Structure 1
Amino acid sequence: MQTILEAAAELADQEGVHGLTLASISKKLNVRPPSLYNHIEGLGGIRTELAVWGLTSLYEEMAISIQGAQKDEAVCNMARAYIDFAKKRPGLYAATLLKPAGEDKRIEEAGGQIVNLALSVLKPYDLDSVSAIHAVRGLRSIMHGFAALMQNRAFGLPYDIEDSLEMAICAFLAGLDTCRKHRRQDI
């Protein structure tokens, strides 16, 4: 199974996850397409496995990036790790965004690990539980936006993209402080 997944991930990185077919995987592995069914549940099964693998790998890279870092540095490191993962593994990253047919608890659990990691990194900002979820969504939107724009080579101006990311994260973090102060005034 791991050999099939590695071949599928490599093809997804090269051609995009939506271009992945059983025929392309079997060709890469030099086997007949029906032989794949001995190990997988069709293309949907491969996409599900790629989603789980991608989410787990993304989580691991993000978790490593924040070790020893605190507050703003941890958030910036986590954002860089997210975007670096999407850059290095574009097909595997795209698989993390798929919603495969049927429910698979492993996808929910792997995604939950990422959310919990982001919540732990944002904990020093003293947000209530609802605001913390909104903040995670906002941070994910920034990270995914940067990843998608970079994948599509949409940053055409000759300015450092890392500087742009750092500025966006700093503005986001300053916004968290502002939101928290306003929420306290409303109470």
Structure 2
Amino acid sequence: MARAGVTRARVEESAVELADADGLDAVTISALARRLGVQPASMYAHVAGVAALRELLHRRALAELAHLVENGIAGRAGTDALVEFAGAHRLMAESHPGLWEVLQKPAEPEVTASPEAARVADLQLAVLRGYGLTGADAVHATRFVGATLNGFVTLERSGAFAHRDVDVETSWALALDALDRSLRQWPGGASSA
């Protein structure tokens, strides 16, 4: 029987806090049990195991990212929407480093088919529609945008840019400008017709 006060919601919140504080690898059944003051065996009343915890964290990360993106792009299109979309990713990495880390991992089929994943995909496609990109062009552009944003943010978070005195914010602005120009000239997009 589960200990009073330990709920699935509390387990999820504790997993997020632990991931953000100590990294994704720190999130184990034993670590969560210690954090919640219960025996590891009683955790299984709330979560089936580490794989289920990772799925829970992945879905939570997608939901959080979707929330940040929605707030950023509301009422915007084109360049403005792209800048806010990118900023939401950077904010996610800063405010929830553990959740950002889980977004860098391959998602299980249950996660990719989840409403949270669909919400993020729909938001990215909405940004790309502002550039006249749909269908296969939007899929290719999604991969390009994702690789650029994830690469920049991951390198920034790892300290890879710290060895130069050149302003990182200028690099970020230039990267977004390059993305914007690329999307405007995307083969098959509205601007290239």
Shared topology, TM-score over 0.5?
Answer: yes
Q: 1:86 to 1:119 in 2, by over 3 A?
A: same
RMSD: 2.3
CA distance in 1, matches of 2:42, 2:107: 22
Work out whether 1:159 is the aligned partner of 2:161.
Answer: no
2: CA distance, partners of 1:64 / 1:172: 21
* Residues 117, 9 of structure 1: alpha-carbon distance in 2 compared, 3 angstrom cutoff: same
Residue matched to 1:42: 49
**Partner secondary structure for residue 82 of structure 1:** helix
Matches within 5 A, 1:52-67: 52-67=59-74
Aligned equivalents of 1:7, 1:182: Cα separation in 2:
44
- Give the whole-Å Cα distance in 2 for the aligned partners of 1:133 and 1:98: 19
Displacement of 1:163 in angstroms is 2.3
Counterpart for residue 102 of structure 2: 95
Query: What are the residue-to-residue correspondences of 1:77-156 with 2, within 5 Å?
Result: 77-99=84-106, 103-104=109-110, 108-156=114-162
CA separation in 2, counterparts of 1:100 and 1:32? 29
Once residues 156 and 97 of structure 2 are traced to their aligned partners in structure 1, the CA distance between those partners, rounded to angstroms, is 10
Tell me the amino acid that sits aligned with residue 73 of structure 1: D
Q: Which deviates further from its counterpart, 154-163 or 164-173? A: 154-163
Counterpart-to-counterpart distance in 2, 1:119 and 1:181: 15
- Output the amino acid matched with 1:39: H
| Cα distance in 2, alignment partners of residues 182 and 118 from structure 1 | 16
* Gapped regions of structure 2 (runs ≥ 5): 1-7
Find the counterpart in structure 1 of residue 3 from structure 2: none
Q: Which has the higher helix share?
A: 1
Rounded to whole Å, the distance in 1 between the matches of 2:11 and 2:57 is 10
Identity %: 26
Contact between 1:26 and 1:36, CA under 8 Å: does it hold in 2? yes
> For the Cα contact (< 8 Å) 2:14–2:32, is it kept in 1?
yes
Deviation of residue 58 (structure 1)? 0.5
TM-score, normalization: structure 1? 0.88
Q: Equivalent residue for 2:27?
A: 20
Whether contact under 8 Å (1:50, 1:96) holds in the other structure is no
Task: Tell me if the contact between 2:184 and 2:191 (Cα under 8 Å) persists in the aligned partners.
Answer: no
Gaps of 5+ in 1: none
User: How many residue pairs align between the two structures?
Assistant: 185
CA contact (8 A) 1:8 1:25 kept: yes
State which drifts further: 34-43 or 92-101: 92-101
